[in-house]
Structure 1
Amino acid sequence: MENILKVLESGSSEEKIKILESVEQTDNQDILEKIISKLNDEDIQVRGEAFSSLILNKNDILKILIKSLNSTSENIRGYTSLVLANRNEKSSITEIMKLVKDERSIVRSCALGALGHLKAQEAKTIFLNSLSDSNLEVRKSALQAIIELNMSISEEEINRILKEKDHEIEKMISQLRKSGPEGI
């Protein structure tokens, strides 16, 4: 185990990835904490492998993942919310909802994406309020969640959103109009 921790701490990217592939079913607390810390690795491939390892882990790692939502690292906070969503951990919705007020836009965006993926009906107001976020990516995540939950929004709100002149948002609004309930 000590060798695993040492490689994850200071090994090359290739060594870290190889270890992460081999420990995806661990329930060892120290190793899990180290895997979670790799969500903030400088190498995107290492971050991706840590993400996969946590999603594929069949053990009950909910508590350690929820604890990680309070990390000082914005990457760990944001990506952990997405790990929880991909694990379909609906019991984490309340904790993920707290992240939509995070100071970092990447964390807010990930949290909204996670809540949308979890079909968090209790977050409808959050999604609507997030359409006014100062960050475009956060607004897009909120809009995507609204589409996923088949929510309706007013024509006035749609027109306000379309003022962005963003091609991706225009496509999302078109999708919302096609699939949404009457009243859009």
Structure 2
Amino acid sequence: MENIVKVLESGSSEEKIKILETLDKTENPEILEKIISKLDDEDIQVRGEAFSSLLLNKNKISDLLIRNLNSTSKNVRGFAALALANRNETDAIPKIAKLAKDERSMVRSCAIGALGHLKAKEEKEIFLDSVLDTNVEVRKSALQAIINLKFPISEEKIKEISKDADSELLKLLSKLKK
């Protein structure tokens, strides 16, 4: 175990990935915390492998993921929300919803995507507010959720969203009208 922690802390990206590939069954809280911390690794492949390891883990690790929604790392907050969503942890909806107001747009986008994936219809206001977010990725996540959850949206709001929309956002808006 000590060796695992050491590799995750200071090993090469290749070594971290190799170890992470073997940790999808662990229940050890110390190792799980280390895996979660790798959601903020500088290497995107290490982050991806850490995410995968958390998704594939069939143990009860949700409380640990929920606790990490308060991490100081934007990557850990965002990816923990997505991991919870992909694990269908509907109990986490209220905690994930708080991240829809996070200072970091990446976290807001992940949170809204997670809420959409969890079909969190009770968070309708968050989706409707977020379609006018200052960040275009957040707006796209919110709009996608609105489309998937079939929420009605006013013509007025559609006009407002269209104002400075990019082509991807306009494509999503066209799906709304159908």
Same fold by TM-score, threshold 0.5 exceeded? yes
TM range (shorter): over 0.9
The answer to whether structure 1 residue 18 and structure 2 residue 18 are counterparts is yes
Deviation of 1:117 (Å): 0.4
Displacement of 1:163 in angstroms is 1.4
2:170 paired residue number: 170
- The residue correspondences of 1:39-58 to structure 2 (distance < 5 A) are 39-58=39-58
Structure 1: tracts of 5 or more residues without a match? 179-184
Gaps of 5+ in 2: none
Give secondary structure in 2 for the equivalent of 1:69: helix
User: C-alpha offsets along residues 94-130 of structure 1, whole Å, 9 cap, x if unaligned?
Assistant: 1000101111111111000000000001110110011
TM-score, scaled to structure 1: 0.95
Per-residue deviation at 1:165? Answer: 3.7
**Root-mean-square deviation over aligned CA pairs:** 0.7
**What are the superposed Cα offsets for residues 147-176 of structure 1, whole Å, 9 maximum, x if unpaired?**
111111011111111112410011101112
Work out the number of aligned pairs and report it.
Answer: 178
* Structure 1 segments of 4+ aligned residues over 4 angstroms from their partners: none
Which residue of 2 is the match for residue 78 of structure 1? Answer: 78
Cα distance in 2, alignment partners of residues 123 and 176 from structure 1: 18
Q: Distance in 1 between matches of 2:164 and 2:152?
A: 19
CA distance, structure 1, for counterparts of residue 6 and residue 17 of structure 2: 13
